[in-house]
Structure 1
Amino acid sequence: MNEDQFKDLLIKYQNGKCTDREKTLIENWLTFGHFEGKVLSDKQMDVKVERLTERLGLAPKRVKLLPRIAAAASIVIAIGAGIFFYTTQNGNNSIKTAVYTGDVGPGKQGATLTLANGKKIRLSDAHNGELAKEAGVTITKAENGELVYQVKDDAGNAERFNTLTTAQGETYSVRLPDGSIVWLNSASSLTYAAGLMKDGKRSVKLEGEAFFDVAKDKLHPFLVQTRNQQVEVLGTQFNINSYREEEAEATTLLEGSVKISSGSSETLIKPGEQAVNQNGMVRVAEVNVENFVDWKAGDFNLDEMNFRVAMRKIARWYDVEVIFDKSVPEDIHSGGWISRNKKLSEVLQFIESSGIARFRIEGKKLYVSR
C-alpha cells in the first residue's frame, strides 16, 4: 500500500465508510501497534504522528487522527514497516506476502576463545566445566554457556592475553575475574589479560560491538580501548558500537558515568546519553537507550535507521553477504522492531511489506533491489 492509498483508507475508516475487509485490515494494524512487545511512549507516539501528518500532508486541523489510528499509522507509514501488502486486484482487496526460495536461520550462542599460547577453543563445541588454567586464573564454561574467569591462586600480573571472538551469526558472554560481564555481538572480539589487571587498571580491547556491565571498583578503573577512543569507568552499564564498516563509534550509557578520550579531547556522558565519535569529533545527545541495546534483548531495532546500516546489522546476524542493486538509494530509512530469533525470510518480509525494497536469497548472498 502506498501513502495515498493509506490516507484514503484512513479517512474512510474515520468516516465509517470502510468495508468489513478494510476495517479488519486497519484493526490488524492496530493490533501490531506494540512493535512485537515494544510499546511506544506517549512522547514517541506524538513525534511519530507529527511526522506522519507532515508526510501525508494531513494537518491535524484537517484530519484529526484518533489515538489508536495514529498508533497504527505511525507504525505502518511513519517508520516505514508493516506486516503485509494491501493491494486491489479486479476490485477485490487481497493480502500478499513475499516468498523466498532460500532461507537462513537466526544466529546462535557461539564464539572462539584464543589462549595466550595460541590454542583455540570452539566454545559451542566445548563441554561445560574447566577449559584451561593460565597464570593462576581458571577458565570455565558455565551451564548457561557463559565463559567465566576466576583467580584461584596468586595470579600476579597474569598478563597473558586471551581473545574471545564471535563470527557472523554468533553472540557470547564472558564473566571477567572482577565480576564484570561483557556480552559480545556478532563479528566482534574482546582481548584482555587473563587476570584482567594491567598497571593497576582493568583493561580490555574491543573490536565490533559489546554491552558492558562493569563491577564497581573505585581503586581500579575499567578501560575499554577501541580503534579511535578509550572509555574509562569505575562501575556502570554501557554499550559500545565500534564496527569498522560504520562511519562512527557510538557509546551509549545506561547507568553510572563514563569518560571518553579521543585524541586530546575528553568527554563525560550521563545515563540516557550517547557519544558519537566520528573522526575524533565527539557529539553527545540524549537517546532512548533501548534502541541501542536491542541486540542484547534479542531484537532488531530498525526504527528510522539508514537502510544500509540496518542491512549490515541483519547481515552480521544471519551471516550473509548483502548485495545492493544500484536502484537502491543511499539515503532511505527503514523502521520498526522485530525479533532476531526469526528466520531471515520473516525479517525480510517485515521490511519488504513497507515497499522500501525487494529481496532475493541465493545461498549466503542476499540481493536487494527496489
Structure 2
Amino acid sequence: MEHETIIKYLNHTASSEEVKDVEDWINSSEKNKEEFNRLKAEYIVSTFDETKYTSKVEEGYIQYRKNIAQSALGKRKKLWANSLKYAAMLAIVFGCTYLYIDRNPYTPSPKVVSDCKKDKKADVITLKMENGTVQVIEEDGLSEVKDSKGNMIGTQQGNKLKYSNKAPLNELTYNTLTVPYGKRFDLILSDGSHVVLNSGTSLRYPVKFIKDKNREVFLTGEAFFEVTKNKKQPFIVNTNGLNIKVLGTKFNVSAYPEDNSTNTVLVEGSVKLRHKDVNDKETSTLLTPGHLASLNKADRKIMVENAETSIYTAWMNGDVIFRHLSFKNIIKKLERHYNVHITNKNPELDEELFTASFNNKTLDEVLKTFKDNYGIDYTIANNQVTINP
C-alpha cells in the first residue's frame, strides 16, 4: 500500500475507492495493522512541525516525509519506536526540551519547558488550527482559543473546550482535536452540540457552523454525540466508510480504523446511516433507540440488533465493560483505555469470549480479575504488559 494513499486516508481526503482499498489492506493481516498504526503515529507526530496549512495532499505528503526524515537526523522531537509501533493516535515526544503554546490567556507568548535531567513522554491532547499549527491542550489549563487572525473562537477550561457561535466567520474553517490513548476530552461545538472524545480519537469539525449548510464533522476513533436539534441543518458524522445523519439526538460511534467494524449505538432520537460511497437515499438504514448498527468492513454490510446502550457508553465514566467479547478485542480496548501495549504470548486465548464489568479500576485490578477467575497469567513492566503462555 502506497504511503501517500494512507496519508490521504488519515486526512479524510481519500476517495471512496481509496478508503475501501486502505481498510481492506489494514484488515488483511496483523502485520498491516501494525504498519498502519506506526504510520498513523508518525503522521500525528509530524503535524507538530507543520506551521503552514496546505489543502494539497501532495504537499502534505512531502511535508510528512520531510518531518520524519528530520526526526531521523536527530531533531529533539524523538519517536519512541516501541510506542510508535502500536499507539494509533498517540503522539510521543522525547528530548530535554519541547515547545508548546502557553494556555494561559494572559501570557500568550510561547513557553519552553526544559528538563534535561530525564526524558519525558508527552501523552498530550492537541488542537490543530485552521492554518495547520498545532497547540497542546493542558488538561488543567484555562485559556481563550483564537484563530490565526486573533479572533476569539472559544474557551478552554480543564478538560472541556467550548466554541462560540459569535465568532466573526462567514466561511467554513476547521479545527482538529486529537486525544491520545488513556485520555478523554469534552468538546462543545458552536451550535451547542456536545461531543465526548474517547482515547485514541481525532475529530475534525467547523470552528463555526454556517447558515444553510449541513453541520458536518469527521471522526476517527470513538465519540459520544449529543446533538442540538436543528431541522434546517442536519448534523452528519463522517467516518471512513459510513455517514451518520441526524437532526438532534444522542448516540455513540466507534470507528477505529484498526477495528473490523464501525459501530453506532442510538440512545435517544433517530439517525440514518448509509455507506459513504452510496448516494441512494433508499439504501440508508434507519436506527431507533436501543439498537446497534454495525458496519462490517469486509463485506460492507450493515447489521442492526438490539443493544444495551449503557455497555457502549460506559467508557465516558471511566468504566470498562465486555459482553461476549473475544480476548484479542479486549486487548485493543485495554490498550486504548490504559495507554499500554499488550503482548499476548498465549494465542489460544485470542478467540475466547469473556464477559466482565470494571468500574474505574486500575489496569492491574482488571488483569488480576482475569488471573483469579480465568487463570490468565501476566506481567507488567512500565507500560508494557505480557500475557504469559
Q: TM-score, normalised by structure 1?
A: 0.66
1:244 equivalent to 2:262? Answer: no
SS of equivalent residue, structure 1 residue 156: coil
Distance 2:170 2:347 in 1: 59
> Do structure 1's residue 277 and structure 2's residue 295 form an aligned pair?
yes
Higher helix share: 2
Q: For residues 216-244 of structure 1, what are the alpha-carbon distances to aligned partners after superposition, in whole Å with 9 as ceiling and x for unaligned?
A: 11110000000110000000000001111
- The answer for the alignment partner of 1:148 in structure 2 is 162
Letter in 1 for 2:141: H
Q: Which amino acid aligns with 1:365?
A: Q
Secondary structure of residue in 2 paired with 1:116: coil
Q: 1:282 to 1:197 in 2, by over 3 A?
A: farther
174-183 or 310-319, which moves further after superposition? 310-319
1:132 aligns with 2:146: yes
Choose which of 306, 324, 332 in structure 2 pairs with 1:312.
332
**CA 141–218 in structure 1, closer or farther in 2 if over 3 Å, else same:** same
Aligned to 1:333: 353
**Where does residue 192 of structure 1 map in the other structure?**
205
The corresponding residue for 1:120 is: 134
Normalised to the residue count of structure 2, the TM-score between the two structures is: 0.63
Provide the rounded CA distance (Å) in 1 between the counterparts of 2:344 and 2:211. 45
By how many angstroms is 1:322 displaced? Answer: 1.2
Paired AA for residue 359 in structure 1: Y
Distance 1:199 1:230, change over 3 A: farther
The farther-off stretch of 128-137 and 179-188 is 128-137
Q: 1:170-225: per-residue Cα shift (whole Å, max 9, x none)?
A: 11010000000100000000001211348611010000000000001111000000
Cα gap change, 1:258 to 1:344, in 2 (>3 Å): same
Q: Give me the whole-angstrom Cα distance separating, in 1, the residues matched to 2:382 and 2:192.
A: 41
Considering Cα pairs closer than 8 Å and 6+ residues apart, tell me whether 1 or 2 has the greater RCO: 1
The Cα of 1:150 is off from its aligned counterpart by 0.2
Output the amino acid matched with 1:139.
G
Q: Which residue of 2 aligns with 1:344?
A: 363
State the one-letter code of the partner of 1:352: K
Distance (Å, rounded) in 2 between the aligned partners of 1:178 and 1:338: 35
Asked whether the equivalents of residues 152 and 167 of structure 2 are also in contact (C-alpha less than 8 Å), the reply is yes
Gaps of 5+ in 2: 1-122
Paired position in structure 1 for 2:179: 166
Output one character per residue of 1:6-36: Cα deviation in whole Å (capped at 9) or x when no partner.
xxxxxxxxxxxxxxxxxxxxxxxxxxxxxxx
Contact 2:295 2:301 in 1 (8 A): yes
Give 5+ residue unaligned stretches, structure 1.
1-108
Partner of 1:294: 314
Alpha-carbon RMSD across the aligned residues, in angstroms, is 2.0
Judge conservation of contact 1:133–1:139 (CA < 8 Å) in 2: no
**Distance across 2 between alignment mates of 1:173 and 1:204:** 15
- Structure 2 residue corresponding to 1:266, chosen from 271, 284, 297: 284
One-letter identity of the residue aligned with 2:362: K
CA contact 1:114–1:163 (8 Å) conserved in 2:
yes
Instruction: Give the C-alpha shift of residue 356 in structure 1.
Output: 5.2
TM-superposed CA distance for 1:153, in Å, is 4.3
Mapping 1:152-231, distance limit 5 Å? 152-157=166-171, 159-197=172-210, 200-231=213-244
Structure 1 residue ranges (4+ consecutive) displaced by more than 6 angstroms after TM superposition: none
Percent identity of equivalent pairs:
30
For residues 134 and 179 of structure 1, what CA distance do their matches in structure 2 show?
23
For residue 181 of structure 2, what is the amino acid of its counterpart?
Answer: Q
Q: Which has the larger radius of gyration?
A: 1
| Deviation per residue, 1:124-159 (Å, 9 max, x gap) | 2673131214676612113x53100002244212x2
170-179 or 296-305: bigger deviation:
296-305
- Once the two structures are superposed, residues 74-124 of structure 1 have per-residue CA deviations (whole angstroms, 9 ceiling, x without a partner) of xxxxxxxxxxxxxxxxxxxxxxxxxxxxxxxxxxx9621111122222212
**Which one-letter code corresponds to 1:116 in the other structure?**
E
Any idea what SS the aligned residue of 1:311 has?
A: helix
Aligned-partner SS, 1:310: helix
In 2 relative to 1, CA 186–153 (structure 1 residues): closer, same or farther, beyond 3 Å? closer
Supply the distance in 2 between the matched residues of 1:196 and 1:134 (Cα, whole angstroms): 18
Task: Describe the shift of the 1:356–1:219 C-alpha distance in structure 2 as closer, same or farther (beyond 3 A).
Answer: farther
